[in-house]
Structure formats: C-alpha cells, structure tokens
Structure 1
Amino acid sequence: MRNRIADMRERADAIVARRPSPSGLVIPEVDAMGRMRDLYLAPGTCARFDNRELADEIVIAIAESARDARRQYEIAMNNPDNLPRPLAEIMREWQAGPASDRQPPNFGKAGE
C-alpha cells in the first residue's frame, strides 16, 4: 500500500502546466496543487502593458495553467492502468492455479 501511495505522489509531483497568457508574453509554471513554481515574462512585457493589464495577463495565465494542471491530475489519477486489481480477480487466478503450487497470494505485505 505504501508503494502505491508513493507512486501516486510521484505522479502528482511530476505534473506541471505551462499555459501562456492571451498575448503569449507571460507563461507561469503551476503544479498539480495549483502552486505557481515559476513565472516567465518575455523581454519587453513590462514596458508593453500598464500595471493593471500586466496583472490581468499574469492572473489569466495562472488560472489557465491551474485548470490544465488539475485536468492532467484527474487524468493521471483516474487512469485505469494505475488502479489496483480487484481482490476477487486475484483470488480467482490463485484458485485456478495448480493445487500443488498454491501459496496464498502476496498483496504487497512487508516481509512476504
């Protein structure tokens, strides 16, 4: 179970979204939790916009990047390939195996 949780955390930590502002001059980097990790401003961006316009560009780009990161997170966490196999399926396979080789299935317990 700890391994699965660690794998899920690693997948979540790897998610990063970089969506540009409407002008394309501002690009934030946002993680899956919606935290801004970095912000790129193209050369001349501050001179091109007044304070309010620049703030709008930054906020819009951050919001779009956060939406994209959330979408990536939902896709990564709900991917059927990442879900554990149902216990009933594991038991059916175990019971269908030869009786001489039957050992209880290992469900990831430490020390087994």
Structure 2
Amino acid sequence: MSDIHPDVQAALDAARDLRHRIADLRERINGIRARRPSPSGAIVPEVDAMGRLTGLYLAPGTTSRFGNNELIAEIMAAIQESTADAGRQYKVLMDTDPWPEPAAAQPVTSESS
C-alpha cells in the first residue's frame, strides 16, 4: 500500500494532467501559421501566432515589376493580413475549451466524525 495520502495523490495527478494540457496547448499555438497573399498575389508572407514573420515568398520577377513604394505596400499589406489571420486562429484556439470537464466530476466533500 502506498504511503501517499489519497488527496495528495489526486493533487499530484491533477498537476501532471495540467502540465500535459499546457504542453499540448503550447504545441498547438506553435503550430499556428498564416499565409495570406498580397493584393497582387505575388508576395506571400508566413506569420506565426505571435505575429512574427517566419517566411516571405516573392514570385519571380516581383522586384522588377513593382517600384519601391509599390513593393513596400504589397509586402506590408500581405504581412498585415497574415498577422490578422494568425491572430484569428489564436483567438479561436484560446476561446475554445479544448478540455471540457468530465460530466461525472463530483465535488470533494469532507465527512465529519
């Protein structure tokens, strides 16, 4: 027989479950990527859930097709749209309860002697 009190064991089990849930949520957040094209479709950035630019694709000939200001506008529009999309994905993930409480969960009560 174990020397650990049942309440302590329950707390340890709950802490382990919480660590696994947090790790799963972090993995899901780290997996968020948004790739929204620029208005012309020639530029596609990749943005993560934290709004960091992780990649940038420029179609062949893009830099010669646009002037400096136009190129900046295309890149910025695509990054802004991708950032907004990544933010929406993050919000959906965080607003959803990925681990609903079991229906059979009963509150713990103490009995008097």
User: For this structure pair, what is the TM-score category when the shorter chain's length is used for normalisation?
Assistant: 0.7 to 0.9
Matches of 2:105 and 2:39 in 1, distance apart? 51
Please give the TM-score of this superposition, normalised by the length of structure 1: 0.75
Tell me which of 74, 78, 101 is aligned to 1:85. Answer: 101
The within-5 A match list for 1:1-16 is 1-16=18-33
Q: Which runs of 5+ in 1 are unaligned?
A: 95-112
User: Which residue does 1:72 correspond to in 2?
Assistant: 89
Q: Distance in 1 between matches of 2:34 and 2:89?
A: 8
| In 2: Cα distance, 1:74 partner to 1:3 partner | 21
Runs ≥4 in structure 1, deviation > 2 angstroms? none
Q: Does 1:27 align with 2:44?
A: yes
5+ long unaligned stretches in structure 2: 1-17, 109-113
Deviations 1:81-101 (A, max 9, x none): x03417x85116x9xxxxxxx
Instruction: Supply the RMSD in Å over aligned alpha carbons.
Output: 2.2
Alignment coverage as a number of residue pairs:
92
**How far apart are 1:11 and its partner, in Å?**
0.6
